C-alpha cells in the first residue's frame, strides 16, 4: 500500500510493485505552461513551517522521480493524478526510481506542496529534485517528446520500457 502521511513517508517512500502499476491508456491533452518553481516571495516562504519545508525537501529527494498526487498510483483519486500516472507508465519510468505521496492523507502536505512549488494544482511531478509541472504540462511534454528526453537524460527509465520500444 502506498498511502502514508508525508512525515512517515519521507523516511521510506512507498514504491509501485512493478511497471504495470504505472501503465494505462493515454490521457487527453491540455495547454502547456512552463513552471518557475524557485521564485517564491518572502511572504510565501514564511507560510511554510521549517518542519514542513524540510519534510517536502526530503520527499522530493527521496527518489529520482517523485509525484505528489491525490490517491495512490494503484488507486488515483482524481482524473489528473490518474493521467499523470498513466503518462509515467507509458514513458516506462522504473518503479524502483519512483515515489508517490498521497496529499489526501496529509492536509499540511496538500497545502504545503502548493506553496513549495508556487504551483496551485495537484498532481505535481519532480524529476531529479526539480519541479516539472502539473498534469497539463506532463501530458504536453509527453505528447511533444520533451518528457521522454528528460526521463532518458536523467536515466530513470526501466530497461526495455517506454513508448516506442519493443517489449
Q: Which is it for strands 65-69 and 130-133: parallel, antiparallel or unpaired?
A: unpaired
Model's pTM, two decimal places?
0.72
Question: Residue 103's domain is classified under what CATH number?
Answer: 3.40.30.10
Region 30-56: what's the mean pLDDT?
64
The answer to whether residue 86 sits within a structural domain is yes
Domain count, the chain: 1
Q: Which domain holds residue 57?
A: 6-13+43-153
What's the mean pLDDT when you consider all of the chain?
A: 80
Beta-carbon contacts of residue 54 (< 8 Å; ≥ 6 apart): none
The answer to whether residue 139 sits within a structural domain is yes
The answer to whether residue 84 sits within a structural domain is yes
The answer to whether residue 21 sits within a structural domain is no
Beta-carbon contacts of residue 12 (< 8 Å; ≥ 6 apart): none
- Name the strand (E) or helix (H) holding 98: strand 98-102
* Pairwise CA distance, residues 119 & 68, whole Å: 12
The answer to whether residue 23 sits within a structural domain is no
Least confident of 22-31, 56-65, 112-121, 158-167: 22-31
C-beta separation of 44 from 118 below 8 A: yes
| Predicted local confidence at residue 33, as pLDDT | 46
Taken as a whole, the chain contains a residue count of: 167
The answer to whether residue 50 sits within a structural domain is yes
Region 100-128: what's the mean pLDDT?
95
Kindly provide the residue ranges of all beta strands, DSSP E only, lying in the chain, ordered along the sequence: 65-69, 98-102, 124-127, 130-133
Q: Cell numbers at residue 120, please?
A: 496551485
* Pairwise CA distance, residues 18 & 23, whole Å: 10
The answer to whether residue 26 sits within a structural domain is no
The answer to whether residue 25 sits within a structural domain is no
* Pairwise CA distance, residues 61 & 133, whole Å: 16
* Pairwise CA distance, residues 113 & 111, whole Å: 6
Instruction: Quick: pLDDT tens for 46-83.
Output: 578 889 999 999 999 999 999 999 999 999 999 999 99
Q: Cell numbers at residue 111, please?
A: 497545502
* Pairwise CA distance, residues 132 & 137, whole Å: 8
Amino acid at each position: 500500500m502506498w498511502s502514508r502521511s508525508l512525515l512517515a513517508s519521507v523516511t521510506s517512500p512507498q514504491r509501485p510493485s512493478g511497471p504495470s502499476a504505472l501503465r494505462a491508456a493515454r490521457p487527453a491533452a491540455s495547454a502547456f505552461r512552463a513552471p518557475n518553481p524557485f521564485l517564491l516571495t518572502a511572504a510565501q516562504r514564511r507560510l511554510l513551517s521549517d518542519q514542513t519545508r524540510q519534510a517536502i525537501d526530503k520527499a522530493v529527494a527521496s527518489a529520482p522521480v517523485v509525484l505528489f498526487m491525490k490517491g495512490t498510483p494503484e488507486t488515483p483519486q482524481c482524473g489528473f493524478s490518474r493521467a499523470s500516472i498513466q503518462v509515467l507508465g507509458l514513458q516506462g519510468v522504473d518503479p524502483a526510481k519512483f515515489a508517490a505521496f498521497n496529499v489526501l492523507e496529509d492536509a499540511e502536505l496538500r497545502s504545503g506542496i502548493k506553496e513549495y512549488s508556487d504551483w496551485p494544482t495537484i498532481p505535481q511531478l519532480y524529476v531529479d529534485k526539480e519541479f516539472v509541472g502539473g498534469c497539463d504540462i506532463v501530458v504536453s511534454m509527453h505528447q511533444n517528446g520533451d518528457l521522454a528526453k528528460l526521463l532518458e537524460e536523467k536515466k530513470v527509465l526501466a530497461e526495455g520500457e517506454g513508448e516506442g520500444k519493443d517489449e
